Chain A
Amino acid sequence: MKKIVLLLVGLLLSLSTYSQSANLSLDYAGLINEPTTNETTPVTDLEIGDEFYLDVTISNMESNFVVTYADIWLTFKNDAFEYLGVDNPMENNSWYTYQWPSQYIFNTSATGDVDDLYHQYNYSRWEYVGDLNSTHAPMVITSQSVGELDGVVARLKFKYKQVSNGFNFSQSAMLRKAYLRDNSNGQTYSDVKASPNQTFDNVPPSTTVTAQFKVLFPESLTPTLFDGGLYKLDGDNTWVQPSDADYSNLSSTGTLNITQGFNRTDEMAVIVNWDGYVVDSDNGDYVKPFEEQFTDIVTISDVALAFAELNNSGINGDEVGNEFNYGIQFMNADVNQDGIFNSDDTYIMLSYVLNGTVGFVQSPEAMVEVSKFYPKVQYDTITKQNYSEISNETTLLNLLDNKNTNELEFLYESAITWKGDVNLSHSTEPDLVDATEAAQAKQFTPAYSKSTNKVEREISTSLVTELVNDKVVVTITMDVGSQKVIGTQFKLGFDMGRLRYDDIKFETNNTSTNFSNLKTNIINIGSLIQIQDEFLGSNTKYTLTFTPNGTLDNTLGLVTLLTTDAVNKIGEQLKLKIE
């Protein structure tokens, strides 16, 4: 029995010999050059560009042995940090250090804990995966000292690099494995734990900057039909997307989260463009061409209002702004963009409506030819007096004011408007800063969608189809009520697989300019009167004739009224109630 007890004691003693314990810790220890002596900048105040210390501390748990040799392995995310080397706080000691490129990953041994640095030293392994698949750069510090390595034994120096918002700073520096030894006594520390801190995970506040972009769409536009993304100006003066920035459809409220890739140093902008992608779960998704959208934006109401502004120049013919209420209306009416709104512009606009839109809007990239964006704060300062000083270029770009380094939450609001959208029916409504201008403008809002007296501004219309002598005859009539109508526009769709369009007969006021144009299966028709005190009455009638491609017994659904527009003598857009 005594022998057994002695054997056990001997075994325990021998085991204790092989489990010398020490802890290793990685601790933030202030800026390398503190602005105030004897003060340590809090870790939460660390910012991009700062150079700082991470101290390596050895806590020897043994009284009989001292650490004289240390081989400590770490990793750090070299996308976020620049390693500046190691300082030695102890006398008579020096550190060997080396770092490798971030082409490896550290495969932790599953048979031991992550913080068991000695176990990992023996059983983990590095695996080459290439730069794309690794964000961690390995590094080592090794010291063989004549004295004891205890307390803060090494001061690692790092510098924060510029990173994009949302960068993952977890485990951005981490103790991976370690080997400690008492060379004088020939003892290896077989119990080396990472404690209390194995990793450094601080997130600089500036990298948590958020940025939100919003286009203030009017109700008449569907925000999800537009897409966009964050861009920055590169060295070649070209707008490029930051590597991790998104490009996606705008939300139903017109917002776009631009936090990813956003920073406060580069020149930045958001590009918004037409997407037109319509999700249709019943019949399959499709793309709505920009041209189709644009024909709703510039209509007979815009043309009539533009003519009204030109014609109503006062008794001496030298007044402006009797019909337009906002400076942006003059800018939109200047469709040839020569800096002057005049009859040249009105006739170009009229040709849009009479002949269909010109070639540029048929291109998939057509929006840039007609869209304009302004920061909302600037948009609201555009008046009838100062509009000529403001750029009237069409663009997809929304330049961002992003250089305020004290700001953490950026919110950009952008107004959208269009070349030719004189009545602002599809533009952000200005909220004028100038009180006098604002008071005048609010007296009259031209676009029907923004009017308050909606019922008063409604007239009724009807489309009836019938078979007459084997032809499909379509009759459009209207009841103008008390309105003095000077312009109408109807967009009809027809089943081009079953019908062929023949012609149209106009029964309108003799002084009206009538128009019709056909684009695939859409017919655009209407009238405009430019002579004072002449109007389109309730006897106005449009009769269209189609030839069926085969035998028909009836016509239900073959021709439909898609959109309508009408305008009265004072340039107010009217709503056509379709019956």
Chain B
Amino acid sequence: MKKLIYIIPLLMLLGCTSDYIEEPIQYNQDIDIFEVQSTTIKDGDTFKIKFDNVATYKLSLTDEFTNVTYTNEKFNSVVGENILTIFTKAIPKGSFIFMVKDSDDNIIKKTKVKI
């Protein structure tokens, strides 16, 4: 009987603790987005890209499965860290290959992002 007195409050305490829910890994904006293999991003997230030179690049979002490129952005880089924002409201949900291409359309950086 004494044992039950100890066990029951313990069970009640355990019953009152919240369930552990695994959160999707969100992008840590302090690191270069291309230094991680896969990232979940949401509307308005900023990300960092490092470049060694000043040039015009193209950022592309291509559907991982259909290979359809939904959008490209042409931008001029600065040397060092470039802070950019991604807007997702007009993009269908899914898994995308996020690429940086040079002026000859060569892929120089690539990672996966989930929207």
**Chain A residues with a Cβ under 8 A of chain B:** 280, 282-283, 462-467, 493-495, 497-498, 521, 552-562, 578-579
Distance of B80 from chain A, by nearest CB (Å):
16
Asked if B97 lies at the interface with its beta carbon under 8 angstroms from chain A, I say: no
Closest 8 A/B residue pairs (Cβ): A557-B87, A466-B74, A560-B70, A493-B90, A556-B73, A495-B89, A464-B72, A560-B71
Smallest CB gap from B56: residue in A? A466
Smallest CB gap from B89: residue in A? A495
Smallest CB gap from B68: residue in A? A578
B89 touches A556 (CB 8 A): no
In the docked arrangement, what's the CA distance between A497 and B87, Å? Answer: 11
A555 touches B73 (CB 8 A): yes
B90 touches A558 (CB 8 A): yes
Smallest CB gap from A553: residue in B? B85
Distance of B105 from chain A, by nearest CB (Å):
8
B90 touches A283 (CB 8 A): no
A579 touches B69 (CB 8 A): yes
Residue interface mask B48-77, A partner, CB < 8 A = 1: 000000000011010000001111111100
B71 touches A561 (CB 8 A): yes
Distance of A471 from chain B, by nearest CB (Å):
14
**Partner among B70, B89, B93 whose Cβ is within 8 Å of the Cβ of A497:** B89
A282 touches B93 (CB 8 A): yes
B73 touches A464 (CB 8 A): yes
B69 touches A556 (CB 8 A): no
Q: Contacts A463-B69, A558-B71 known; list 10 others, CB within 8 Å.
A: A495-B90, A553-B83, A553-B85, A554-B75, A556-B86, A557-B61, A558-B90, A559-B71, A561-B70, A578-B70
B84 touches A554 (CB 8 A): yes
From known contacts A282-B93, A464-B58, A556-B59, infer whether A495 and B74 are also in contact, taking CB-CB under 8 Å: no
B93 touches A560 (CB 8 A): no
26 contacts between A and B (CB under 8 A): A280-B93, A462-B69, A463-B70, A463-B72, A466-B74, A498-B89, A552-B85, A553-B83, A553-B84, A553-B85, A554-B75, A555-B73, A555-B75, A556-B85, A556-B87, A557-B71, A557-B73, A557-B87, A557-B89, A557-B90, A559-B90, A560-B70, A560-B71, A560-B92, A561-B68, A561-B71
**Partner among A282, A493, A557 whose Cβ is within 8 Å of the Cβ of B86:** A557
- Please give, as numbers and ranges, the residues of chain B lying within 8 Å of A282 by CB-CB distance: 93
Smallest CB gap from A522: residue in B? B90
B87 touches A465 (CB 8 A): no
From known contacts A464-B58, A578-B68, infer whether A554 and B73 are also in contact, taking CB-CB under 8 Å: yes
Asked if B91 lies at the interface with its beta carbon under 8 angstroms from chain A, I say: yes
Residue interface mask B31-48, A partner, CB < 8 A = 1: 000000000000000000
- Please give, as numbers and ranges, the residues of chain B lying within 8 Å of A464 by CB-CB distance: 58, 72-74
In the docked arrangement, what's the CA distance between A555 and B60, Å? Answer: 11
In the docked arrangement, what's the CA distance between A441 and B68, Å? Answer: 31
- Please give, as numbers and ranges, the residues of chain B lying within 8 Å of A558 by CB-CB distance: 71, 87, 90
In the docked arrangement, what's the CA distance between A485 and B6, Å? Answer: 81
Smallest CB gap from B74: residue in A? A466
A521 touches B93 (CB 8 A): no
In the docked arrangement, what's the CA distance between A555 and B74, Å? Answer: 9
Residue picked from A282, A463, A557, A561, most chain B C-beta under 10 Å: A557
- Please give, as numbers and ranges, the residues of chain A lying within 8 Å of B86 by CB-CB distance: 556-557
Distance of A376 from chain B, by nearest CB (Å):
30
In the docked arrangement, what's the CA distance between A233 and B113, Å? Answer: 54
From known contacts A553-B84, A553-B85, A554-B84, infer whether A560 and B91 are also in contact, taking CB-CB under 8 Å: yes
In the docked arrangement, what's the CA distance between A280 and B94, Å? Answer: 11
Distance of A548 from chain B, by nearest CB (Å):
11
**Partner among A280, A466, A557, A562 whose Cβ is within 8 Å of the Cβ of B75:** A466
- Please give, as numbers and ranges, the residues of chain A lying within 8 Å of B70 by CB-CB distance: 463, 560-562, 578
Asked if B88 lies at the interface with its beta carbon under 8 angstroms from chain A, I say: yes
Q: Kindly identify, within residues 76 to 115 of chain B, every residue whose CB is under 8 Å from any CB belonging to chain A.
A: 83-93
In the docked arrangement, what's the CA distance between A493 and B59, Å? Answer: 18
B73 touches A283 (CB 8 A): no
